[in-house]
Amino acid sequence: MSSEQTPAAPETAASRPRRVTYAAALCALEGLALVAGGVWMLVLGVTGGPDDRQQAVTGAVTLIVLALLPLLAARGLLGLRSWSRGPAVITQVMAVPVAYNLLQADSVAIPAGIALMAVAVAALVLLVNGETTRALGIRGPGRNAE
């Protein structure tokens, strides 16, 4: 194996910038919220009326599968894997319109929309920060390794 193919030694929590740790925590929080929502929909679907059962189960499975993206991104961020920033950013970009729609509701969904928007914007700021980019070893276009 050449030196270019040799994986870097795993980083310790002490050498990982706080911004990366915070971004990972926010991604994990979103993933866990999706899992909780999926489990809640599954329980309601199984215990609810037969008309809604198939739709609720399908929605629940969808939420649980969607939770894999931010959870895997969080794990990658904690390991300082450069690939993890892409899924983390995609998750936040998808969360912004969802939060906006929640804010348009005339119900108890408004506080959830506020929380989701705050988490998504904070995570985006942390993910595009220069310190995060350097820690993950992401170089801009046209910048060769030296």
Q: What is the pTM of this model?
A: 0.82
Of 87 and 141, the structure prediction assigns the larger pLDDT to 87
Q: What is the per-residue pLDDT across 12-52, written as a single tens digit (0 to 9) for each?
A: 566 889 999 999 999 999 999 999 999 998 898 888 766 77
Check residue 3 and give its pLDDT: 43
Among 28, 27, 13, smallest CA distance to 123 is for 27
Residues 80 and 130: their CA atoms lie apart, in Å, by: 14
Q: What is the per-residue pLDDT across 71-112, written as a single tens digit (0 to 9) for each?
A: 999 999 999 999 999 999 999 999 999 999 999 988 888 999
Residues 28 and 115: their CA atoms lie apart, in Å, by: 15
Check residue 44 and give its pLDDT: 85
Among 120, 119, 100, smallest CA distance to 110 is for 100
Q: Which tokens belong to 87?
A: 């899924």
pLDDT tops 70 at residue 56: yes
Read off the pLDDT of each residue in 44-62 and give the average, rounded to a whole number.
83
